[in-house]
Chain A
Amino acid sequence: MENKIITKYWNKIDPLNIQDYIKVGGYDALKKFIRDMDARTALEEIKKSGLCGRGGAGFPTGQKMEMVAEKTEKKYFICNLDESEPGTYKDSSIVDNNPHMLLEGIIVSALIVGAGKAFIYLNGHYEKQKEILAHALEQAREKEFLGKGIIGSCYDLDIEIFQGAGAYVCGEETALINSMEGNRGEPKLRPPYPTDSGLCGKPTCVNNAETIASVPWIIVNGGEAYSKIGASCSPGTKLYILGGAVKKPGVVEAPTGTTIHKLIHEFGGGISCGKELWFAQIGGASGRLITENELDTPLTFSRDCPVPLGSGAVLIVDKSVNIYDLILSWTGFFRRESCGKCVPCREGTFRLHEIAGRLKDGEISERDKEALEDILWTLNNTTFCPLGKFAATAMSDAVEKLGILGD
């Protein structure tokens, strides 16, 4: 039972009806927070839980919240629901299946950091999710879980939905803030970090939707219980998005530290009939490639983990796939989604895509191979934000592990 936190009530309750959620213990965390806890004790629980950012970076959530909670000025809380990694739809699934769990998480988290205003930064393509969230917000307001004096307490909070324009780079928190301020969606220089000077120069806590959705459970069941689930370096459960050549693709919830092998065979029902596994890509288009002999690697957010979990997308690629098409689609994605701010990423992703096109046509020259090596290196080492590094990951692995250059 403990292995399901976020997906526990999926397909069991009506996501559009707040009453259904309340019946299964929804908003208990908020009530507990208001009646039995204060911001400090709740923050202690989050810190004890070891919860870390589910967007991919894996930064300890409690630490981030504390940095904002310490500040005395006006503060903001932002739920990052930009989710534009290819093959990733976990956050939108949370909204589709249990939007109130996310709202409860946002309310509690915002109260913990002491923000009077919270935003949901929604991907520009998520029209349906916007409607669901707007509906859920309305219901929550009616029940006085939002607004002035939340269920009779002295806490005030309002949540607003902010819809972006669907840029990948806006998932990066400083770019997200830029976008909300009406600027061009591109990362800002750090420091100052958003926890010091974020939205409109105020301390801002930006958390991924999945991270936030785990908060109510931690408040109700305690940080210690959460810290016992999954891998000790980054405890808890994680939503994995299985895709490609598996029998049962879709979003599954499993503890962190689950091996890819287990994900494929236990949760995904095995490799599709008649297909033969070639490699798996973990974490979307920016993810690493894992070949057959590495499938037993446990996936965690730890820096020591050889395979970064990233967004949690697990793409199973079988041997019938044309790798050159796949590479062209990766490089094409980053060639479109680079913000164009710094030289290596703007020019590098453009040239990488150009070379991937020639690779597909079988016209790659020696000069291209040299250039490819240089571009991958510069993307990895010199870009302004991590997007450049992401753009190089899969291609580097394809060169190294799959030998796509034919050497």
Chain B
Amino acid sequence: MSASGGEFEVVIGLEVHAHLRTKSKLFSPAPILYGAEPNHSVHPVCLALPGVLPVLNEYAVELAIRASIAMNCEVHQRSIFARKNYFYPDLPKGYQISQYEEPLATGGWIDIPTQGAGGAANKKRIRLTRIHMEEDAGKSIHDDAIAGADSTLVDLNRAGVPLVEIVSEPDIRSAEEATDYLRAVRSILRFTDVSDADMEKGHLRCDVNVSLRPRGSDEYGTRTELKNLNSFRFIEEAVRAEIERQTEVLRAGGEVRQCTLAYDPQSGRTSVLRIKEDADDYRYFPDPDLIPMLLTPEQIERVRSELPELAEQRAERFQSEWDLSEQDAVQLTAAPSIANFFQAAAKQHGAPKVVANWILRDVMQALNELELALDDSPFSPEGLAKLIRMVDEGKTTVKSARGLVAELVESGGDPEALIAERGLAAVSDSGVLEQAVAEVLAENPENVELYRSGEKKVVNFLMGQVMRKTQGKADPAAVREILARELGK
């Protein structure tokens, strides 16, 4: 039985951590290199050597402000970096530099799509508590094969990578809303160029707080925290499993205990990582190595005025300026890479609706088949515009062009050269076409008769025969013209 229809209301809040797209770390000049050898993108500051000091990365601040503005928060002119103290081997200083009492931004909201009554598209507003900046920790590697039994290795490449933590109010009411919210967060982070927000690469991580309360109650129940969920599917599954578990506990007259949980995708169950008897005491205090972060109203306004267009605005523009359908516009703004590709190709080509069709049909299919992201493909918007234009101009056929998309998506290259190389140029030489038409008419006298007796539809059959004779390379417009003339005689 689903909890959403039952006697309990689900209350969910998310804490989302997103890596900021900076070249160097939040407080050290070490470069951020994904996939580097362990402990190769480090600096004395990341290693917490004796005597080192943090220096704030200004660009990270700009990105965090940008995210805060895009999420409708109030950005504070004064915020404070604080130390969150705890011991762990992948936390070199013994504290994480974060923000506590005075965060960068508070308030704000994100609208998520929701199905309203009667299936009408609607929006639901999820309020945000705060957005603050902090540094990531390193990684502990417990793998026996790498570290050896009974030992742990530490990789500090990730230590000090800048993050924003986006904390929502407990406004989310279902597992679907939780993933819709996270998708909306991801979209904003990507369209503002704040983060790559790739969950697989750990750029985007999320902790989910779940509690239940009797429907109609306005008090919160005891919540549990699901940690380390690294895909949309796992989040949805884990939240569902946890709702079910809590429902069973409450129905049996039990009490939900405050605890941190892990989700095991194999068993589809949540399990307790640790019980929180008391609140953790991180002994937060303002980091005396850093001065208060002071922003001027001008600085905040500049970031606001330079804020890139978000997905929703972009989709609206595609509809109003280029007359795209809502469905196509939404699909074309699923990621900034697609939207940017479409926008550039449409401008080059001049007929956005035509370009949209090519992207949504052929380019997307090729990407799916190749399991490739558009960002990783060498195919350029110019290449696509040129390919479509060759079809428009009768230099190749739709069939030939579509057959080349997968290859272009995978390996790039100049469509014109590729068409010439493969002998896919449309045949428009009138001598060749006249000859082919004459042969087809001679081979199909009964169809010619039918045409002349009024069965005009047979022209399509005759077209097909001409195309087959020319291996599909004949310029269809030219063939149609010759056929009409010959049949009209």
Interaction A to B: no
Please give the residue numbers on chain B whose beta carbons come within 8 Å of chain A beta carbons, in ascending order: none
